[in-house]
Amino acid sequence: MAESRQPKIFYGYIVVAVAFLIMMIMWGTSYSFGVFFKPLLAEFGWTRAMTSGAYSLCMLLTGLLSIGTGRLTDRFGPRVVVTGCGLFLGLGCLLVSQVSALWQLYLFYGVMIGAGLSGAVVPMVTTVARWFVKRRGMMTGITISGLGMGTLVMPPITNWLISTYGWRTSYIIIGITALVLVTSAAQFMKRDPAQIGQLPYGGNEVKKDDLNLAAADFSLRQAMQTRQLWLLCTMLFFFGASLQIIMVHIVPHATDLEISAASAAIILAIIGGLSTGGRVTMGITGDRIGNKLAFIMSFGLISAALFWLLAAKGLWMLYLFAVIFGFGYGGIAVLVSPIVAEQFGLNSLGIILGVVIFSCAIGETIGPVVAGHIFDTTGSYNLAFLICAAVSFISLILVSRLRPIDLKIYR
């Protein structure tokens, strides 16, 4: 029988490697926006709030459409979904290179790139969850670490491209690269092991009593009736707002402190690099000590980092902030999918995770615009960073109150 044969290489590892690459390209492209921020301001004279709005719209569409890409992945698998999203991402970047008005930036970056990014997180992590029972946290961590690797690699490269060729040509180069690599890589994605006659890794080693069988039947409607889903949505809303305030505004903030653009771009790279370490480390930690405790540790780190940012004025202080914030942010990012799977099961994981990610996207939408408005009004990011620190501490309290669902209620 095909099921009894042991393949030389378990295909799930190929799925993880491809998902890593796709995440790296997609999110590296997205998180380079902070490097393009001041060149756009210099050419068009827009306010920071107006310019941030395009990124906020991108995050909103990414989250909203993630619900749809999650459902499509549940039904049809990731290959077609991610191919389409790669086309939107690449074409969006190419069209951004031609903008001459603010509405065009909102359409090409906010709408098209936002649609493209909806193929990143949810299709990738839900697919990986179906391929692994054992090592699910570790493999999810490796997958999500592609996001951090993209943030590590892309901002310095983007800064060099802009200084060498200008921002318009840089977007053309990035757009062509993203279009070719994402659509090509997507062809290697497969929905689950049954598609090629394999079992999930560790699927034949897990005892029946260890599985949360009732949770496997949770629908989105049932999940929305639980306190746990709304706690997760609230935490992710606060996290998303804080994260994107930092990712969009930390480079302009650093250059306002008379730090060079190249050194400021390294702050983003450090966040990305340490988030990669956080994703892998906290994914393994979640497997060993439990996802909730690892989640608490991660929220504690970003809360500490954001309070430190309020006092950070020198470059070394900003680098230290980036180390702590990046590691904690990576931990939160990798633990969301395992926690959702743990609470609600795998059958509707794509669409339930899509709803949770959408709540994060609402925060990501609001945060950068609010921070830009605060700067335009006060001439400083201090109030914005204080709000980030406060809501992160509230999230730390909320995650401590996350409890397993009483399955008897839903039988």
Residue 316: burial class (beta carbons within 10 Å; 0-12, 13-18, 19+): exposed
Q: Is residue 321 part of a domain?
A: yes
pLDDT for the residue numbered 178 = 93
Helix (H), strand (E) counts: the chain: 16, 0
Q: Is residue 207 part of a domain?
A: no
Q: Is residue 274 part of a domain?
A: yes
Q: Is residue 410 part of a domain?
A: no
* Count: domains in the chain: 1
Q: Is residue 411 part of a domain?
A: no
**What are the structure tokens assigned to 261, written together?**
């653009």
Residue listed under structure tokens 């903008």 = 99
pLDDT for the residue numbered 225 = 81
DSSP secondary structure code for residue 350 in this structure? H
Q: Is residue 202 part of a domain?
A: no
Q: Check if the beta carbon of residue 362 is closer than 8 Å to that of residue 237.
A: yes
Q: Compute the distance between CA of residue 330 and CA of residue 23 in angstroms, rounded to an integer.
A: 13
Q: Compute the distance between CA of residue 178 and CA of residue 89 in angstroms, rounded to an integer.
A: 7
Q: Compute the distance between CA of residue 190 and CA of residue 297 in angstroms, rounded to an integer.
A: 33
For residue 207, the SS3 value is: coil
pLDDT for the residue numbered 406 = 62
What is the amino acid identity at position 259?
Answer: I
Q: Compute the distance between CA of residue 48 and CA of residue 51 in angstroms, rounded to an integer.
A: 5
Residue listed under structure tokens 């569409």 = 61
Q: Check if the beta carbon of residue 309 is closer than 8 Å to that of residue 402.
A: no
Digit-by-digit pLDDT tens for the chain (411 residues) are 444 455 567 888 999 999 999 999 998 998 788 889 889 988 998 888 888 889 889 988 888 898 888 888 878 888 999 999 999 999 999 999 999 999 999 999 999 999 999 998 888 888 888 888 777 777 887 887 888 788 778 888 998 999 999 999 999 999 999 999 999 999 999 887 777 777 777 766 554 444 444 445 677 788 888 888 899 999 999 999 999 899 888 988 999 898 888 888 889 889 888 888 888 888 888 878 888 899 899 999 999 999 999 998 889 999 999 999 999 998 898 888 788 877 887 677 777 888 888 888 889 888 888 998 999 899 999 999 999 999 999 999 988 888 776 655 555
pLDDT for the residue numbered 71 = 82
What angle in degrees, to the nearest 10, is found between the helix axes of 291-309 and 382-399? 160
For residue 201, the SS3 value is: strand
> What is the torsional sign of CA 48, 49, 53, 59?
positive
Give CA angle at 243 (238, 247), nearest 5°: 155
> What is the torsional sign of CA 251, 321, 271, 339?
negative
State phi, psi for 273 to the nearest 5 degrees.
-65, -45
Q: Compute the distance between CA of residue 169 and CA of residue 68 in angstroms, rounded to an integer.
A: 33
For residue 180, the SS3 value is: helix
How far is CA 266 from each of CA 112, 151, 314, 319, 323, rounded to the nearest angstrom?
A: 27, 10, 14, 8, 11
Domain that holds residue 155: 8-196+212-403
pLDDT for the residue numbered 351 = 79
Q: Compute the distance between CA of residue 46 and CA of residue 48 in angstroms, rounded to an integer.
A: 7
For residue 8, the SS3 value is: coil
Q: Is residue 206 part of a domain?
A: no
How far is CA 35 from each of CA 61, 146, 264, rounded to the nearest angstrom?
A: 21, 19, 9
Q: Residue 157 CB: number of other CB atoms within 10 A? A: 17
**Chain centre distance of CA 281:** 17
Q: What is the DSSP string of 29-68?
A: HHTTHHHHHHHHHHHH---HHHHHHHHHHHHHHHHHHHHH
Q: Residue 192 CB: number of other CB atoms within 10 A? A: 18
Q: Is residue 409 part of a domain?
A: no
Residue 102: burial class (beta carbons within 10 Å; 0-12, 13-18, 19+): middle
CATH of the domain at 74: 1.20.1250.20
Residue listed under structure tokens 């979640």 = 286
